[in-house]
């Protein structure tokens, strides 16, 4: 199986305002650039605020725009992964206005009208793109538990099952996944990997040393492959896992790495802006380790830094790190990391997924943080 190289995409001049301010010519140029750098797949995000402006009403114009962007991606030779529920994104929770009823936020997982609304959206996106061989997979949601944690495992399972069912009804045979992240490995967030694996077709993880208390440094190259291998073990499906998000933010060109205090979902947090040379070294080391540890692929976060004209708009007004996560600068020139992706496929050596889990999934989730730390200690002692 060929190792899949993907990238997460928002336009550098529009960011999360892509859909309401769509410039299709700009998107075409950027997606062509992505293909030229050697990527196979682009992950797109249907921001729920834009696509679902009212309860149980999907905006048909936005669906048409999604189809247009997917066609452009296909035209330049990219496979597409649409994420159909996007509330948590880039340091901000983008709640639709209609989520609140009489001043009280409704339950994302338990409210029948919210579940109907979101499944309607998922079905509409999948219906519009059904039958297109360029659709690599449908992604249900992006790190949805940060928006609201499910009250129970059962609530999380039923919500995931309802969303997957809506997609499969519209586009049977297309793989369905969900953007899970490190809290599904380190906390009792009720979005358990084994539960998700029982419903979905692929095992997916997002991991950033930048955000993890378990990482040995902001640029720890072992955290991401370990998280992928642990995901495979907890899944129990004996299938190769996908690292759907990983990456780092950078300091200005020519600058050394700097540590800053940044806003992280409303709380101050120490973050590191790496030098561009450090960024390239991190990507090269991490992708090689992912392939060697049996991952099916890796999707970088993200395509580009954002134009300074966006810095007075959420989330970039507060989340400084989010401004410079790209492998391309805001002016469209490439960072050193881009050259890594241009050449690394030729040097990848794929291995088998190692066995890292030494307890049952139930035992692991009785104390996920403790088990994660213990198993990661074993991993780093063997791989460093």
Neighbours of 222 (CB within 10 A): 20
Query: What's CA 170's distance to the chain center, in Å?
Result: 23
Q: What is the third-level CATH fold of 4-383?
A: TIM Barrel (3.20.20)
User: By C-alpha distance, which of 242, 240, 234 is closest to 356?
Assistant: 234
pLDDT tens-digit series, residues 272-312: 999 999 999 999 999 999 999 999 999 999 999 999 999 99
Q: At a CB cut-off of 8 Å and minimum separation 6, what does 86 contact?
A: 45, 46, 47, 48, 94, 141, 142
Max CA distance (Å), the chain: 58
pLDDT band at 173 (very low <50, low <70, confident <90, very high): very high
Which of the 8 DSSP states describes residue 304? B
In angstroms, the Cα distances linking 118 to 63, 148, 180 are: 14, 14, 18
Q: What are phi and psi of 46, to 5 degrees?
A: -85, 90
Tens digit of pLDDT for each residue in 79-116? 999 999 999 999 999 999 998 876 777 999 999 999 99
Q: How many CB atoms lie within 10 A of CB 21?
A: 11
Peptide bond connecting 302 to the previous residue in cis, omega within 30 degrees of 0: yes
Q: Rounded to whole angstroms, how far apart are CA atoms 108 and 192?
A: 17
Whether 223 contacts 215, CB under 8 Å: yes
Question: Would strands 88-89 and 92-93 be described as parallel, antiparallel, or unpaired?
Answer: antiparallel
Residue boundaries of the structural domains of the chain: 4-383
Rounded to an integer, what distance in angstroms lies between the CA atom of residue 332 and that of residue 383? 36
| Rounded Cα distance, 111 and 88, in Å | 19
What would the pLDDT profile of 180-197 be if each residue is shown by its tens digit? 999 999 999 999 999 999
| Alpha-carbon gap, residue 48 to 46, rounded angstroms | 6
Whole-number pLDDT of residue 348: 84
For the stretch 339-354, pLDDT in tens is 999 999 888 888 999 9
Global pTM value = 0.97
CA–CA distance from 256 to each of 217, 259, 272, 277 (Å)? Answer: 16, 10, 11, 9
N- to C-terminal Cα separation, the chain: 27
């Amino acid at each position: 199986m060929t190792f899949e190289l993907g990238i997460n995409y928002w336009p550098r001049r529009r960011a999360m305002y892509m859909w309401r301010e769509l410039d299709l010519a700009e998107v075409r140029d950027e997606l062509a650039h992505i293909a030229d750098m050697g990527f196979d797949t682009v992950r797109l995000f249907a921001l729920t605020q834009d696509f679902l402006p009212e309860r149980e009403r999907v905006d048909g114009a936005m669906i048409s725009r999604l189809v247009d962007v997917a066609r452009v991606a296909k035209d330049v030779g990219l496979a597409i992964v649409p994420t159909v529920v996007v509330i948590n994104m880039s340091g901000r929770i983008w709640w639709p206005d209609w989520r609140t009823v009489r001043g009280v936020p409704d339950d994302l997982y338990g409210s029948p009208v919210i579940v109907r609304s979101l499944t309607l959206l998922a079905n509409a996106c999948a219906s519009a793109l059904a039958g297109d061989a360029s659709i690599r997979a449908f992604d249900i949601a992006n790190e949805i538990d940060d928006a609201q944690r499910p009250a129970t495992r059962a609530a999380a399972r039923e919500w995931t099952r309802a969303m997957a069912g809506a997609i499969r009804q519209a586009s049977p045979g297309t793989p369905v996944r969900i953007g899970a992240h490190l809290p599904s490995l380190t906390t009792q967030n009720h979005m358990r990997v084994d539960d998700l694996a029982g419903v979905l077709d692929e095992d997916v993880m997002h991991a950033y040393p930048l955000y993890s208390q378990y990482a040995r440094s902001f640029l720890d190259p072992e955290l991401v492959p370990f998280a992928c291998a642990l995901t495979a073990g907890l899944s129990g499906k004996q299938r190769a896992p996908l690292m759907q998000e990983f990456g780092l933010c950078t300091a200005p060109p020519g600058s050394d790495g700097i540590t800053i205090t940044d806003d992280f979902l409303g709380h101050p947090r120490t973050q590191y802006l790496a030098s561009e040379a450090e960024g390239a070294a991190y990507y090269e080391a991490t992708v090689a380790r992912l392939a060697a540890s049996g991952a099916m692929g890796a999707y970088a976060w993200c395509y580009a830094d954002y134009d300074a004209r966006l810095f007075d708009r959420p989330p970039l007004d507060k989340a400084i790190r989010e401004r410079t996560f790209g492998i391309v600068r805001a002016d469209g020139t490439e960072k050193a990391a881009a050259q890594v992706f241009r050449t690394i496929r030729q040097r990848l050596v794929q291995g088998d997924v190692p066995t890292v889990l030494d307890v049952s999934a139930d035992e692991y989730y009785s104390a996920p943080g403790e088990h994660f730390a213990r198993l990661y200690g074993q991993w780093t002692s063997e791989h460093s």
